[in-house]
Chain A
Amino acid sequence: MRHRVKGRKLGRTASHRLATMRSLATALFLHKKIVTTLAKAKHARTFIEPMITKAKADTVHARRLVEVHIKDKEAFKELFGDIIQKVGDRPGGYTRIIKLGQRRGDAAEMAILELVDYSDIVEKEKPRKKVVKEKAETVEEANVVEETTETVEASEEVAEEAAPETEATEEPAAEETVEENAETEETPAEEAEPKAEEKKEETSDKNEDEKKDN
């Protein structure tokens, strides 16, 4: 029976759990909206809401009670300045939890924990635009690369077409130098050899086929 058993352990020791809650509360007061696991968000709610209720009194005693947990001066100022002003006389229920689904890796249920009175704050759209621009640039680059490769291919084709002609013209006027001859002779030889091999293979294949047929 788990009658009257409150809260959850989060797989931590008491001191570790308290430290986690303090850091979550500090982060929430600073940023008004944090993403964490659902279990931590639900537990942090029971830690943060009473603290805001105490802070609303805005007395020296209240400040000292909150000071125990909130060591960050910026977050502390934010709570006693902006947040309790915005919260006004809301009777509890200062936070909202929105489920986000499971995260990659450990499939933990994630959630947004946010202050209800700051729900008008929407994330800036800037990062999204940047991403779009980067994508466009990469696409352009890809196009350029494709074009260059095409031109390279075209030039290669031209070169191949031109090469036999030059060889033909050189051959009559040949035998001026040995090196040139060597070059001109080598290139056709190289081209001819693979072809000959291919033909051989083809003929051998044909022979095999014929053998099979027989």
Chain B
Amino acid sequence: MAHPKRKISKSRRDKRRTHYKASVPSLTTCSNCGELKLSHRACPNCGYYAGRSVFVPEG
């Protein structure tokens, strides 16, 4: 079986990892309460989705 001839140097390893980046979450404002929320999900603040109350938030 083929094997690597050389150990990957720290430099090459770290250069490869420069492309591993955290993505920005796609946030929108809630149409009911105006809080920031994840798109396509019920608002955790007011419990609304698509213009109707889906659940009653605690407290």
Contacts and interface: CB of A to CB of B under 8 A. Distances in A.
A119 B49 CA distance: 12
Do most interface residues of chain B lie in helix, strand or loop, or is the interface mixed?
loop
Contact of A98 (B44, B49, B59): B49
B56 A123 contact: yes
Interface in A99-128: 99-101, 112, 119, 122-125, 127-128
Interface residues of B, number: 14
A74 B53 CA distance: 27
Interface residues of A, number: 15
Interface string A122-153: 11110110010001000000000000000000
Contacts of A100: 41-42, 44, 55
B36 interface: no
Contact of A99 (B41, B52, B58, B59): B41
Contacts, number: 36
A205 to B, nearest CB: 52
A131 B56 CA distance: 12
Interface in A24-61: 35
Contact of A112 (B40, B44, B54, B59): B54
A122 B40 CA distance: 20
Contacts of A98: 41-42, 49, 54
Contact of A128 (B38, B40, B44, B56): B56
A125 B56 contact: yes
B42 A112 contact: yes
Contacts of B55: 35, 100, 112, 123
Contact of A119 (B41, B42, B52): B52
B26 to A, nearest CB: 13
B2 to A, nearest CB: 26
Contact of B56 (A101, A119, A127, A135): A127
A113 to B, nearest CB: 12
A33 to B, nearest CB: 9
Nearest to A126: B56
Contacts of A128: 56-59
A127 B38 CA distance: 26
Interface of B: 38, 40-42, 44, 49, 52-59
17 contacts: A35-B55, A98-B42, A98-B49, A99-B41, A99-B42, A100-B41, A100-B42, A100-B44, A101-B44, A112-B54, A119-B52, A122-B52, A123-B55, A128-B56, A128-B57, A131-B58, A135-B59
Interface of A: 35, 98-101, 112, 119, 122-125, 127-128, 131, 135
